[in-house]
Amino acid sequence: MKQKIQKLLDELSGLSIQTHEELENFRLRFMSKKGLISSLFSEFKSVPAEEKKDVGAAMNVLKNRVAELYESVKRSLEQSEGDTSGEDLTRTAYPIPMGTRHPLSLVREEICRIFNRLGFSIALGPEIEDDWHVFESLNFADDHPARDMQDTFFVSTSPELLLRTHTSSVQTRVMTSQKPPIRIICPGRVYRNEAISARAHCFFHQVEALYIDENVTFADLRQTLLFFAQEMFDANTRIRLRPSYFPFTEPSAEMDISCNICGGEGCSFCKHTGWVEILGCGMVDPNVLENCGIDSKKYSGFALGMGVERITNLKYRVSDLRLFSENDKRFLKQFESAK
């Protein structure tokens, strides 16, 4: 009997079990009611009393080895199958929660759609740019403060590459590669070296518009702005243009809309003025047209640029810029029903 047990122990150490089927056969052969171990225990009764101690010990070793082998093979088979034990593979899948559009994407698309209806088509440009497209072509004097290291993120010095600080660089890209008439809208991300706070961020989003043709006037600009403001906010929105300065437009203006919270009556949001600023605009400076190879005697144009975060703040009251890039699902979920 001892020899029989030893033979089975030898067999166990050379055994290789690869599949669930082989494991089940092993269990039936060794561990079931009619298996080898229980038949050994039946035989044990007839073992002479003086051998019982030795044979009993050997049987226990065998029994433990069998149990250990069974458990360890079972565990490793389950692990290699991604542990689906106990899972009902036929159950219906849990519903995957619907994601939501980011508020900045919603607003950017709405701005573009309004301008699309006026015949503006989308133009895109690179975020990593050179000095000429971001500054020089747009009439920035060499010592203009916006070129300062404090505002601009430089990427390399030779060639001089930087992260664009505004989408106006896309104007230049289009003007140097297309002939008028040009009617484009350029959405995109821009970068400035600012300390991050509720009101400033090192990246944000702008939408730029440019219209160049023969006889484009300030009246066209004004009418386009009024249409945009009334489509974006509501039909009663009024606009106001204040003289301003940008290197690439002459004359330049900033546009306010009547406060869409108090309707122009005055509230804390509009600092009791009834107006809120939303964008910069102007007639394209003839120097800019010439820099880009467009005859400024024949053509004129207007341009405008706005911050998508600013418009989103007005539409949805998101006043802390940091919320836009934190990816907090509780914030994003609030825009579930927005189109």
H runs (alpha helix) in the chain = 2-13, 20-26, 36-44, 52-80, 103-117, 131-134, 168-177, 218-232, 286-291, 308-316, 323-326, 329-332
Q: Which of 103, 188, 264, 280 binds ligand DAH (CB under 6 A)?
A: 280
169 binds ligand DAH (CB under 6 A): no
Site residues (CB under 6 A) for ligand DAH, limited to 103-142: none
Q: Choose one: 1-9, 28-36, 46-54, 302-310; the region binding ligand DAH (CB under 6 A).
A: 302-310
Residue 152, interface with ligand DAH (CB under 6 A)?
Answer: no
Which of 282, 291, 294, 301 binds ligand DAH (CB under 6 A)? It is 282
Q: Is 87 marked within a binding site?
A: no
Q: How far is the CB of 198 from ligand DAH (least distance, A)?
A: 19
**What are the DSSP calls for 213-248, one per residue?**
ETT--HHHHHHHHHHHHHHHS-TT--EEEEEEEETT
The answer to whether 162 contacts ligand DAH (rule: CB under 6 A) is no
Give the one residue of 281, 288, 292, 321 binding ligand DAH; rule: CB under 6 A.
281
Question: Assign residue 234 a region: left if phi > 0, alpha if psi is -120 to 50, beta otherwise?
Answer: beta
Of the residues 166, 173, 205, 310, which one makes contact with ligand DAH according to CB under 6 A: 166
C-alpha 197/C-alpha 134 separation (Å) is 25
Rounded-to-integer distance, Cα 116 and Cα 185, Å: 8
Residue type, 195: A
Rounded to a whole number of angstroms, the minimum distance from the CB of residue 338 to ligand DAH is: 26
Count of residues in contact with ligand DAH, rule CB under 6 A? 11
Interface pick for ligand DAH out of 139, 152, 224, 249 (rule CB under 6 A): 249
- Distance CA(97)–CA(124), nearest Å, equals 32
Interface stretch with ligand DAH, choices 1-9, 18-26, 116-124, 303-311 (CB under 6 A): 303-311
For residue 283, which of 251, 328, 241 has the smallest C-alpha distance? 251
Whichever of 59 and 278 has its CB closer to ligand DAH, that residue is: 278
Place of tokens 């108090």: 262
Cα gap 186→180, rounded to integer Å? 16
d(CA 332, CA 327): 7
Residue with tokens 């703040």: 313
| Nearest to ligand DAH of 73, 221 (CB atom) | 221
Q: Does 168 bind ligand DAH (CB under 6 A)?
A: yes
Footprint on residues 171-230 left by ligand DAH (CB under 6 A): 208
Q: Which residue is nearest to ligand DAH (CB)?
A: 305
Rule CB under 6 A: say whether 285 interacts with ligand DAH.
no
Binding-site residue ranges for Mg(2+) = 250
In the complex, the residues that contact ligand DAH under the rule CB under 6 A are 166, 168, 208, 246, 249, 280-282, 303-305
Binding-site residue ranges = 250
